[in-house]
Amino acid sequence: MRFGQRLAAAVAEHGPLCVGIDPHPGLLASWGLPQDASGLERFALTCVEAFGGRVAVVKPQSAFFEAHGSKGVAVLERVISDLRGTGTLVLVDAKRGDIGSTMAAYAAAYLTEGSPLAGDAVTVSPYLGFGSLRPALEAAAASGRGIFALALTSNPEGSSVQRATGPDGRSVAQSIVDEAARANAGADPLGDVGLVVGATVGRLDLDLSDLHGPVLAPGFGAQGGTVEDLRELFGADLRGVLPTSSRDVLRHGPGTASLRSAADAVRRALEM
């Protein structure tokens, strides 16, 4: 199956939730783990045990692994490998974006069959122009993987660029939505090109009606996003919206049972 089909199946099985694996130094400390690669590994593999086969998607934040050098990247590779076949999809949160051969190399790393860093999808930045993502789009199509392009992020700095209006009267964010919709045309039930839209952006000002793809909504939970915010942004029907919760779930560690209970509680709230 293609990524959009696998994602729809995973959400149908486990509910609409993406749990972040964010080995933030503060979380390592709260779990009583050392601030080194061994602590990172224990944190990450506990998350794999807790969430594998129980949530639709996990989203390891690549930066927290990279901060530990080659040993940290090896842990990220282990996370991706260990979750393969569990029914839980892996979205590598790397936010890669570049041009030409450099973007092609990122695509090879995160979207090509056989690469140890290739999960089921990767986050990408289209802010060198959506066309700069062509190598990632082609690699994803060839391997049955997906991408999530940043569209409207909740950080205050993003608004000046993302809500800016182009010569055709569309916002920059809307132009990204429209390009993603074009890539997803005819997909059923979901296309392979998703968007990242923060749960705390305040107002949407985007027409997502033709997207036919998933929307990743980070910021749910500890960052202040609520179920009401999601419904106000995206409407009462949240099909295709994948809320992300990281710290709000991870703070319940290090026990696997308590992590699972926390994820279950968030999922129940989303399904009410």
Instruction: Identify the burial level of 26 via C-beta atoms within 10 angstroms of its C-beta, where 0-12 means exposed, 13-18 middle and 19 or more buried.
Output: exposed
Reference 52, options 9, 23, 75, 81; nearest CA is: 81
User: Helix, strand, or coil here: 61?
Assistant: strand
User: Nearest 5°: CA angle at 21, between 180 and 141?
Assistant: 30
Q: What is the DSSP letter of 171?
A: B
Cβ atoms of residues 110 and 140 within 8 Å: no
Please give the Cα distance from 130 to 172 (Å, whole number): 10
Please give the Cα distance from 37 to 69 (Å, whole number): 9
Write out the catalytic residue numbers. 95
Reference 117, options 147, 58, 76; nearest CA is: 76
H helix runs in the chain, sequence order: 3-14, 25-30, 37-51, 62-66, 69-83, 100-111, 134-143, 159-162, 172-184, 227-234, 247-250, 256-271
